[in-house]
Chains A and B, each alone.
Chain A
Amino acid sequence: MAGNSEPLSPRAKLAVTAGKAAAAVSRAAGKGSGSVIGGKVALRFDPDLLARLARHLDVVLVSATNGKTTTTRLIAEALRAGGPVVSNALGANMPAGITSALAGGTEARYGVIEVDEKYLGGVARDVSPKAIALLNLSRDQLDRAAETRMLAEKWREGLAGTDAVVVANADDPLITWAASSSPTVVWVAAGQAWKDDAWSCPSCGGVLQRPAEDWFCGECGFRRPTPTWGFVNDHVVDPHGVAWPIQLQLPGRANKSNAAMSAAVAAVFGVDPKVALERMYHVQAVAGRYDVVVYQQRQLRLLLAKNPAGWLETFSLIDGPPTPVVLSVNARGADGTDTSWLWDVDYTRLVGHPVLVLGDRKLDLAVRLEVAGVQFRVCSTLAEAVAAAPPGRIEVIANYTAFQDLRRIVGN
């Protein structure tokens, strides 16, 4: 039984207090929630603070290119069936943000922690998690991210011999490669729409064969493991073969996949799939994503898509034509400054939708849409785009900083 039975040391308490003070100063100065600066200050007082805070918790780590924040939220909802949960629900997913989140939940039993891909190995060593959920890996932020396969390799090294139960997506060859050094893996057939980062065998470099849902390397024999959890026709299939319907309020295939992964994680903590899934149904929006807001008397659904895999999933969940679509793309530091990924996104999927284009890099989008044969209109502001949109709810798809900009504009 976890829970806060063993009090924090005086040093850890001091570190937590210093971190909270710094966060309060940061908030008062109007610089966001202060969780990252608070965590940084606290870690300076006590570098082992993260490990100390986690010692009292049953922890699950969640990492991926896409779906980290949503899955973290779904798992947190599921585990609340068993006791109080602390989580970095707003996506501050590097060590400082994680430390800050844990410091705010000393009464919790469970820690549900989203981890940035680059920090997974280190955080896993620090917090000795009970479970680690690995969802998917694909190209993202090309100007500064490590190579996708190298990231899988680092995970593989970092997780080798871990005591955690690794819950991994068997349909992603890179995830499978990363997870297969771990002694205990629960394989989930969670699906993967984007395949263009895994045509080469992560083990030997051979060309992967991908008939239907299967995949294998013809050269070295590395292949899709047999999953114990399935995701079939909008149902989670548990290891006993029982199919549980997924009836989320969150839209799209990717979120059902996230729910399947979350149900498998919840089972590691003894929460049964029925209870876990029913708790996930309450989630309507996650950090503004999927939220329907009213702006200028129009309904807008806010959708975040940061990379080609994310855009592919997003196109599959939007309402069909003639639903108007607003696209906004920036290329600031947090987005990656290289916009070439726009050409990996299949924008022909938008043919038939009225498309309105916004953001710092609206001209890159304009050329991309022109070449895809999609009709579009370039706008300077959201107000202009909304005014130009034909009637009906508007699907608004934006990448990271563009999404934050839009949330501010609509007051979300």
Chain B
Amino acid sequence: MSDSSLRLVWVYPDLLSTYGDQGNALVVERRAQQRRVPVSRVDVRSDQPIPTSGDIYLLGGGEDRPQRLAAERLRRDGGLNRAVANGAIVFSVCAGYQILGHEFVNDLGRPEPGLGLLDVVSVRGEGARCVGDVLADIDPQLNLPPLTGFENHQGVTRLGPAARPFARVRVGRGNGTGDGTEGAFNDTVFGTYMHGPVMARNPQIADLLIKLALDVNALPPVDDRWFEALREERIAAAVQPA
């Protein structure tokens, strides 16, 4: 980074913001501000070019048709791939996660090319929709506490050799492949099926992205009382559903 401010880009809120996805942007912003790191957030609508100078890019969840439209427009734009080539960080959720892979099944039932930023391929699951609280252990390499989230999807995402599972589920379905994996990551590109939104339940993920962007190993502590209380409650709910 050339300066100490953080450039946060929220990609296509007009298409990929069905599940409170703004929450991830708000939590990253808030936690950076609490550390006195100046943040500028740009919300990029799908008829606008993706800036390539961002530090952190967020992609949210969306319905089937908007997902196809988002993939078409991101492919045509090319900006997100250029940003990643420059070392940008990308965190994606659900429909956004599928778009970052090589391919997913679109609303018309046909394979739709993704951006190829993650070595994953997604198809639509045959069984019931995965809906409910999830508890998972994040890859130890990332040094994060357990992942709590809410899943609501029908996707099945298979990982290729270049992608590592973001987490392994204790409760819930995650990637839906039956092997217990949840999400994927590779270097600075992350994908998860977790809504919640996921940063509201796992603020340490927001901190991880900020640390990667600032290239620092630690951030000053902040008051996490309410985040911790929520985590405790949702983890208990996942283990012992009401």
Chain A residues within 8 Å of chain B by Cβ, number: 30
At the interface with chain A, which of B97-105, B135-143, B223-231?
Answer: B223-231
Interface string of B36-54 (1 = CB under 8 A from A): 0000000001110000000
Contact of A343 among B47, B65, B197, B229 (CB under 8 A): B197
Per the bound structure, the CA–CA distance linking A338 and B30 in Å amounts to 23
Contact A207 B20 (CB under 8 A): no
**A9 contacts partner chain B, Cβ-Cβ < 8 Å:** no
Interface string of B125-151 (1 = CB under 8 A from A): 000000110000000000000000010
Interface string of B158-173 (1 = CB under 8 A from A): 0000000000000000
Contact of B14 among A143, A149, A207 (CB under 8 A): A207
Contact B66 A200 (CB under 8 A): yes
**A352 contacts partner chain B, Cβ-Cβ < 8 Å:** no
Contact A207 B47 (CB under 8 A): yes
What B residues does A205 contact at CB under 8 A?
65-66, 69
Interface string of B2-42 (1 = CB under 8 A from A): 00000000000111011111110011001000000000000
Per the bound structure, the CA–CA distance linking A366 and B150 in Å amounts to 18
Contact B15 A343 (CB under 8 A): no
Chain B residues within 8 Å of chain A by Cβ, number: 34
Contact A147 B64 (CB under 8 A): yes
What B residues does A371 contact at CB under 8 A?
23, 26-27, 30, 200
**B63 contacts partner chain A, Cβ-Cβ < 8 Å:** yes
**A381 contacts partner chain B, Cβ-Cβ < 8 Å:** no
Q: With A200-B69, A340-B197 known to touch, is A366 a contact of B226 (CB < 8 Å)?
A: yes
Nearest-CB distance from B151 to chain A (Å)? Answer: 9
What A residues does B30 contact at CB under 8 A?
371, 373
Nearest-CB distance from B164 to chain A (Å)? Answer: 26
Q: Which residues of B contact A (CB under 8 A)?
A: 13-15, 17-23, 26-27, 30, 45-47, 63-66, 69, 131-132, 150, 152, 195-197, 200, 226-227, 229-230, 233
Some 20 contacts from A to B, beta carbons below 8 A apart, are: A142-B19, A147-B65, A196-B13, A199-B15, A199-B45, A200-B15, A207-B47, A337-B150, A338-B195, A339-B150, A340-B19, A340-B150, A340-B195, A340-B197, A342-B20, A342-B23, A343-B21, A344-B17, A344-B22, A370-B226
